[in-house]
Each structure stands twice: as C-alpha cells, then as structure tokens.
Amino acid sequence: MKRLCIILTIALLYSASSATAQRRNSSSRKATTTTTTSAKLPKDADLVRRAQAEEPRAMAKMAECYLEGSNGVKRDEREGFEWAQKAAEQDDGVGLYLLALCYYSGFGVDEDYNSAYNLFGEAVYTLMREAQTGDVTAQYYLACCYDYGFGTQPDSYEAAKWYKLAAEQGDAFAQCNLGICYEEGNGVRQDYAEAVKWYKLAAQQGDSAAQRKLGYCYDQGYGVNPNINEAVKWYKLAAEQGDARAQCLLGWCYEKGRGVAQNKNTAISWYKKSAAQGDETAQQNLRNHGIYKW
C-alpha cells in the first residue's frame, strides 16, 4: 500500500509563502477534452462507475490509482494527470492536491511551478473545508500539507492533529504517519509505545511502510520488548510488497541469521531487489560480497 504524499513529497520542496501569495490560472485546472483511452481500468468496479459518472472524489481516486500504479493498473502519469484535472475542475480538494503534484513534478504534463504553487494553495483551502466535515481522505491530505508545507507554512502540531483525526477513522496511511509523529516527537510528545500502537494498526491493514517501521521497533526494542522473530515477520511482509528498505533489512537478517536460518544466497537475493530500487545500504552490502552489478 502506498499513497502519493509518502512517495513523492521529497521532491516537492518549495516556498510556502509563494504558494499562498498567488492564485491559480484557471487554465491549469481546466479539464482537457475527453478522449477514448486505452488505459486499463482499476479493478474497483464501483470506483470506475462513480468516476465515469463524474463524481469528483471518485475521479480524484482514479488519479491516485494511475499516478501510483495501484488498484490493478500500471503507473500512467498522463492518465493520472487527466483524472486529477477533471476532479480539480469540480473543486475537489484531493484532485487539486494531485493536480498540483503533477504540475510540480511533471507527471503527465510539462513542469509548471507557478501553476503548482497556486494549486497547492487552493488545495489547502478546499481540503480544510472538506476535512472539517469529517472527510477522512481530505484530513489525511491536509495533514500532509501541514507536514511538508504544501501551500501553507509547515506546522507539525496541525499535521499531527489531522493525521490523528484520519487515523481514528481507520485510514492506514494516516495511522502510519501518526506513528512517525510519535516516534520522532513531531507535533506530539515522543512516545514509542504509542508509535507502535499506530504502526500496528496500519501494518495490519497492509501498509508496507508501517510493516517495516513495526518490524524495526521489534528489532530494536522501541516501545516493545525486542523480538527478532516478530521483526523478521513484519520485514518480510513489507519486503514482499516491494519496500526497498525492508528488503535490505530482511537481507541483513538472512546474512546474519537473525530470526531466520543464516543463508547468504537468500540475503544477496533480497539485497539485489533493494539495490535495484536505489537503496544505498543494500548496494554497499552487495559490494561487500564482491557484487558490483545488480
């Protein structure tokens, strides 16, 4: 499981003041003429039906699917951009956020920082209105805006507040990010046991980042008694979902025989998967084994 805030925000570093000082150009959110698409549709038939009926949030969710490569479809930036644009045209906060992301990162459209700044500012305003009605997805994305300073000044307390509201409604991504807040003491008092609580709730829903984080807590004894068997269990679940860091950690467990039978070949196999995704530790571990190509 993944969500765009988590996998794309590192690239989105910009001045919040410029984002709020400008208004967006209407052309940046104007939907393009609908054309017949050959893109595979997400496996969620109800989502597809609602999106094709032009339900704003469903169109934003379609954009999420294509931009992430989730829900049974391959990553398709242009398709994601077009669905985000359609959702934004109807003033959906998530659609505005995703459209801003597209313009900033050049996903399916030429990079346009001015449009991105304007759209992020508009997204914050709209997400706030939606979040205050209890909209869980809007609460999550609003928290992201405060967390990273998208369209507003960074505010760790507001971020934690909105993550918690979404987490309490069962949003796995918010649960994981709230766990990070408690682990690092961002916007809340540092509390490893509370972090473990939220990681576990997210991990049980299949969130790979939470599974890795929970595994590491068991590995190091953060908020729980150390338990390498539990650590390996969660590392493996995350690694099997493609989490690069978990793959490297699992490889280390196999290399050292921690919680599993020592197996150099299996360790190298996991290191290769991780290294192929750019994990520098995994790459160094392979070099330590005399492997320089992966």
Q: Where are the domains of the chain?
A: 1-149, 155-227, 242-294
CA 272 from chain centre, in angstroms, equals: 23
Q: Would you mind telling me the total number of residues written for the chain in this entry?
A: 294
**How many CB atoms are closer than 10 A to CB 53?**
9
Is residue 198 a contact partner of residue 175, using CB atoms and an 8 Å limit?
Answer: yes
pLDDT tier for residue 225 given thresholds of 50, 70 and 90? very high
Q: Which CATH class is domain 1-149?
A: mainly alpha
Lowest mean pLDDT among 31-45, 99-113, 142-156: 31-45
Q: What tens digit of pLDDT does each residue of 167-200 get? A: 999 999 999 999 999 999 999 999 999 999 999 9
pLDDT above 80: residue 81? yes
Please indicate whether the domains covering 1-149 and 155-227 agree at the CATH topology level.
yes
What span, in angstroms and rounded, lies between the C-alpha atoms of 19 and 10?
17
**How many CB atoms are closer than 10 A to CB 79?**
21
Which whole-number Å values give the CA distances from 154 to 101, 150, 180, 206, in the listed order? 17, 8, 16, 29
What span, in angstroms and rounded, lies between the C-alpha atoms of 59 and 275?
35
pTM of the model: 0.87
Q: What tens digit of pLDDT does each residue of 155-169 get? A: 999 999 999 999 999
Residue 4: the pLDDT is 57
pLDDT tier for residue 294 given thresholds of 50, 70 and 90? confident
Q: Which CATH class is domain 155-227?
A: mainly alpha
- Give the rounded percent of residues in the chain with a pLDDT score beyond 90: 86
Residue 200: the pLDDT is 98
